[in-house]
Amino acid sequence: MNPRQRLLTVLKGEIPDCVPVAPDFSNMIPAKLTGKPFWQLYLYNDPPIWEAYIECAKYFNIDSLMDGYFPLTFPEEVRDEGWEDFIVFRSTERIITQAGRKENGKMVWKPTVNVYYVADPPTMNIPPEKVSLPPVPRRWEPVEGRKVVDLGPNGLKRVKEQMGDQGLVGVFVTSTAALNNQEEIFYYFDHPELHERWAEERIEKAVQRYQRIMSLEVKPDFICVGGSGTLVFQSVKIFHQLAFPAVQKVLEMASRDGIFSHVHSCGPEKELVRIFAEETGLTVIDPLEEPPMGDCDLAEIKHLYGNKLTLKGNLHTTRVMLHGTPEDVISASKRAIDAAADGGRFILSTGDQCGRDTPFENLHAMIETARTYGRYH
């Protein structure tokens, strides 16, 4: 089987030729592999990070479950308000941009900046004072040389062509995370009168986006409804109140239409697994992180929910993948396969995001173990 066939088989609940393997390296490993400053990818789209990811997937020959890395955008979702990015700080280590526009002949500026690093992913939408910059920049320059990329339906078609048989391409519809930072948490508790409306608006937007996606001539292979750290900035109660109604509605439509669905949520996830297994038709969930990063025991999750969900996880990204030896990776991979591969519905992966300096030999060891030890008999 090629990677695409292998993934389609396991997502259908059938038995592939071997356990699919897809370490989570959506950002840092692909960017490093290009040999370019990271800001070339994230700021200048040279290449866009999702294209670098596909090349990385091919380099390591993984079974790529590309969950939402391509930011599919419809014209109806774009509001052109005249904002333009300007470089307000530059050094050998980072480039900082701020969005500005002219109003009545005078420049006005957004209250946040984006920081692009030479060897790390960017930090987005932070107050300028956090990086020792004034709210109104003293000097600025245009962002020159940024490549224009098509984020619409033709862009998705191109990404699927680039992926080919290396795996499956998914796009986001809505998110399990309704609250993502401190300010949103404060606003939530300050405005209880808005909670019901927020939930209803999320449903409306999610349904509209799902319908646009399903009307495409070239559709994604699956849809994504996850969110990083779902239970970090919100409780299970808040998740059920604000985010889950839209997620549940989308999953109902996806099940009806026969399209696979995916949740990624790093951090505590055990309760989310239960909710999705018992209350939805979700296809696959990751990364099922073990303590202290998460709260999942892979064997327990498999025993409880492995007949309802495809599980994807869960090698420790620092202790095993970053700091371990290839032998450590092989042992951890075998333990995960032993815990969760029986009967199919399992994709060997890592916890959230392999670090930039993860040894390539560790990634190769993980992949080779899935191809050999992970064979079904």
Asked whether the beta carbons of 24 and 286 are under 8 A apart, the reply is yes
pLDDT of residue 81: 83
CATH assignment of 3-73+151-372, given 3.20.20.210, 3.90.1150.10, 3.40.50.970, 3.40.640.10?
3.20.20.210
The b/e string for 22-52 (b: 16+ C-beta within 10 A; e otherwise) is: bbbbbbbbbbbbbeebbbbbbbbbbbbbbbb
pLDDT value for 351: 95
| Confidence at residue 182, expressed as pLDDT on a 0 to 100 scale | 86
Are residues 263 and 284 in contact, defined by beta-carbon separation less than 8 angstroms?
A: yes
The whole-angstrom separation of Cα 329 and Cα 370 is 11
Contacts within 8 Å (CB) and 24+ apart, 119-126: 119/32, 119/37, 119/38, 119/356, 120/28, 120/38, 120/356, 121/27, 121/28, 121/31, 121/38, 121/42, 122/38, 122/39, 122/42, 122/43
Domain boundaries along the sequence of the chain: 3-73+151-372, 81-142
**DSSP code at position 289:** P
- CA-CA distances (angstroms) from residue 210 to 171, 173, 260? 10, 6, 13
pTM, rounded to two decimals: 0.96
Percentage helix, strand, coil, to 5, in the chain? 40, 20, 40
pLDDT at site 377? 77
Which amino acid type is present at position 338? D
Q: For residues 145-174, b (16+ Cβ closer than 10 Å) or e, as one string?
A: eeeebebebebbeebbebbeebbbbbbbbb
pLDDT at site 177: 96
Treating both helix axes as pointing N-terminal to C-terminal, what angle do 49-60 and 153-163 enclose, rounded to 10 degrees?
20
Residue 156 bridge partners (DSSP): none
HSE of 137, CA atoms in CB hemisphere, 13 A: 24
Q: In angstroms, rounded to a whole number, what is the distance separating the alpha carbons of residues 62 and 58?
A: 7
**What residue ranges of the chain have pLDDT lower than 50?**
none
Distance in angstroms between the alpha carbons of the first and the last residue of the chain: 15
